[in-house]
Structure 1
Amino acid sequence: MANHKSAEKRNRQSQVRRMRNRMNKSKMKTVVRRVEEALMAGSEEQAREALQKAIPVIQKTAVKGSIHKKTASRKISRLTRRVNRMQPLA
């Protein structure tokens, strides 16, 4: 338990930031799950729509500092590659 006034404030700030990061990560995981569900269903159109909605959410999560920017880039890249592989080669 914090004994100093500054330590108590730091504890409050940490809790607020933790909840904010948790909310952002949860939102990101939800949109990623929607893309994966569309992929599992085999619906290319739904997968593309879900991916287009997921990309800004993932980027925003990185901008806010909840995840590293390279982690966001990797997630976007892998999701995009999975959606593109679903489409038969023309």
Structure 2
Amino acid sequence: MANSPQAKKRARQNERRAAVNQARRSRIRTYLRKVEEAIAAGDQAAAKAALQAAQPEMMRGVTKGILHKNTAARKMSRLSARVKALG
């Protein structure tokens, strides 16, 4: 347990940051799930729209340190290939 005032403050800050990061991660997953659902339904127009909505959210996750940039690029590449294959 944190004893010094500085360590206590750090613990409070970490708690707040964890909550924010968790919300961001959840939001990214939601956008990705919408793309997956559209692909599963076979609706290319909806999948394309969902992918365009998901892309900036994933890139924002990269800038905020939630995702590694290569991870986001890999996921976007694979999703876009699957959306393209629907056509």
TM-score class normalised by the smaller sequence = over 0.9
Distance 2:66 2:16 in 1: 13
For residue 35 of structure 1, what is the aligned residue in structure 2? 35
Alpha-carbon offset, residue 33 of structure 1: 0.2
TM-score (norm 2): 0.94
Distance 1:12 1:71 in 2: 29
For residue 75 of structure 2, what is the aligned residue in structure 1? 75
Moved over 6 A (4+): none
RMSD: 0.9
Query: CA deviation digits over 1:28-52, x for unaligned, max 9?
Result: 0000000000011111110001001
For residue 4 of structure 1, what is the aligned residue in structure 2? 4
Letter in 1 for 2:21: N
Query: CA deviation digits over 1:9-59, x for unaligned, max 9?
Result: 111111111111101100000000000000111111100010011101110
Paired residues, number: 87
Letter in 1 for 2:15: Q
Letter in 2 for 1:21: N
Unaligned runs of at least 5 residues, structure 1:
none
TM-score (norm 1): 0.91
For residue 19 of structure 2, what is the aligned residue in structure 1? 19
Unaligned runs of at least 5 residues, structure 2:
none
